[in-house]
Structure 1
């Protein structure tokens, strides 16, 4: 059962729906508002993430995607509203954020007791890097470094795993391999997942639900009913892709 911890509550009642039972949720945001330089990046935003649910978050730059992720990670407060999040939560960022002076195994164990070394080795084995445990980060490719970051996140057995454009800096082939790896690991470990991405195909490929943000609010919240594996070029896939692109203000011709 997920235990939701309170990160920030407004001083008054938020104009938001009644909360769902905490036992069914990994995170709940109600009436969240966040202002930077006089501009509301999130404005009365609501979101509930169920246990084991994979949500992809789409939106133009500045629509509030990363701000939401930072609030759920406890890195930013909301100005008003409430944010409740499962106690065990981890983030994989666009950059792997490895400590160059530590070997791979020590990067996976960062902040944890050395008694968990065997668990860290198992996590590296899951991402295909058991043989790189004693390697230095500088010797890794971009995809390998991101797999180390993923192993580090999964070792903490998160109830909520947040992915902030984790494949954006990778080449196309490595990106496809990493998407398949994330799908496989999430099916195995069943954390709730929030993926921030600009890639519509990636969102459809991986997520149970796709949200589109604009002006600090959700303008589309759609559950994906397609069976796995989802094939790019299939009629239903392409229909959903076109609809999401239109919502983002992008035409196929563009």
Structure 2
């Protein structure tokens, strides 16, 4: 348990104090580039003093973000999700709590919620892993999983999602009942800090690349780059450097 105790002493700061942060280092945020990590709180579960869950708001930009929440080229600068660390099984779960807000007269059935949840989790879970490059993290490798949690009105949520009838162009927090379920998996990618990667003449600097953030029907799965914000936060809390690697050769090594 010595490693776990060391991690705890380096990381836990529920009052917003200093965390393991290597500003200007090989895996730190760069304040001069507008990057900032702001932890909201860390919760320690159990009696073994290991960090089990970390919850936060993230402010600033990621390598594939563009400035401003309303410029039409990006999704703004906020990503919010919860991480659950399982150091025994060497896996990290990215948990996002969603509050669905249907339009008047619109009903989101249990079957529809199940379909959205299944598609998002299947699209984003267990395709990549974090390979430790340096630092005291207990595991050499962490599998990354995703979990969607539907919450009620009085429960804490990460995002409110408006749900409308019919089929139309969706957004991160605006979904349509008749859109393919893969669209929800694409919109979930924005919640992890990713921007669209399809061509748009309004956004000449936007990267156009294969993957779920482009055409989710042709490329229904993410690439390692789509977990950049998750990797940064894991590094931040575990005081270790990681590389995101493909767990299965689903893309044929095509990146």
Task: Compute the TM-score of the two structures, normalised by the length of structure 1.
Answer: 0.31
More helix by proportion, 1 or 2? 1
Structure with greater contact order relative to length (CA < 8 Å, sep ≥ 6): 1
Task: Compute the TM-score of the two structures, normalised by the length of structure 2.
Answer: 0.31
